[in-house]
Amino acid sequence: MAFKHVYRTLFKKYGPQHWWPGDSPFEIMVGAVLTQNTSWTNVERAIANLVTADALSADAILTATHEQLAEWLQPSGYFNIKARRLRNYCEWYVQQGAYEKLRRWTTDRLRVALLSVNGVGPETADDILLYAFDRPVFVIDAYTRRLFSRLQLVTGEEHYEELRELFEKRLAREKSLVPLFNEYHALIVIHAKDVCKTKPRCEICCLRRRCPGAMA
């Protein structure tokens, strides 16, 4: 089964997802940092706290005490760790000239720089690149590994970079890569959360007829 066929099947089933939720590039960046190890519903609550406190900006986050920031982020879980990570990110962000300067960087330069920030791993960096900076970078997550290993298109044991490069290579000939990568990642997430779960619901899966891992 081709990678593009998986996309077409999922898109036909679920339609456009219009990701990533956020009213500004900076809000998307904050969400990418906070969504580690939690659900998006919890992230929304934490972001709502920042909005209510008029603190959804890098300057406001850096001005707040650690205790205050952690309190705002409490709904997202691991709030002390995430407060430190978000502060680290904001310090780097401001030092580099914020969005207006960063958006002029090449994708490779920006990705290397993001990965240098303490607390920003490959998935978080690629979320920021794709959804905040509109760069053609494919985001890999646990849902992607699960779905595509069951389809036997990957083993599931590949390193993050290996999988990212595989997806980008397989889809390289398609037009408008940023919208494609945006939708594809969102479709994988909704399908894996609701259907291709840890205990899969193969009987309702739109991919089941061509999935070697489908349960009878």
pLDDT tens digit sequence for 163-174 = 999 999 999 998
Range of the structural domain that residue 94 is part of? 25-132
Q: In a 10 Å sphere around its CB, with 0-12 CB exposed, 13-18 middle and 19+ buried, how is residue 105 labelled?
A: middle
pLDDT score of 216: 56
**Cis amide prior to 72 (ω within 30 degrees):** no
Provide the CATH number for the domain around residue 177: 1.10.1670
Last residue of a domain, one of 86, 110, 132: 132
105 within domain boundaries: yes
* Window from 20-29, 47-56, 177-186 with minimum mean pLDDT: 20-29
Residue 131 in tokens: 């959804």
Residues 72 and 99 in one domain: yes
Model confidence at 1, pLDDT cuts 50, 70, 90, reads low
**Dihedral (Cα; 190, 25, 42, 90), 10-degree rounding:** 140
Residue 122 in tokens: 């490959």
Query: Which residues have a Cβ under 8 Å from the Cβ of 148 and sit 6 or more positions away?
Result: 6, 154, 156
What is the pLDDT averaged over residues 95-99? 98
Last residue of a domain, one of 132, 148, 163: 132
pLDDT score of 202: 95
Alpha carbons within 13 A on the beta-carbon side of 61: 28
Residues 146 and 123 in one domain: no
Provide the CATH number for the domain around residue 78: 1.10.340.30
Residues 121 and 42 in one domain: yes
pLDDT tens digit sequence for 117-166 = 999 999 999 999 999 999 999 999 999 999 999 999 999 899 999 999 99
Residues 42 and 108 in one domain: yes
- Which of these, 52, 59, 82, lies nearest to 69 by C-alpha position? 82
32 within domain boundaries: yes
215 within domain boundaries: no
Query: Which residues have a Cβ under 8 Å from the Cβ of 153 and sit 6 or more positions away?
Result: 1, 3, 6
Residues 51 and 149 in one domain: no
pTM, entire model? 0.94
What is the pLDDT averaged over residues 27-38? 95
Last residue of a domain, one of 98, 132, 166: 132
191 within domain boundaries: yes
The position carrying tokens 């990705």 is 111
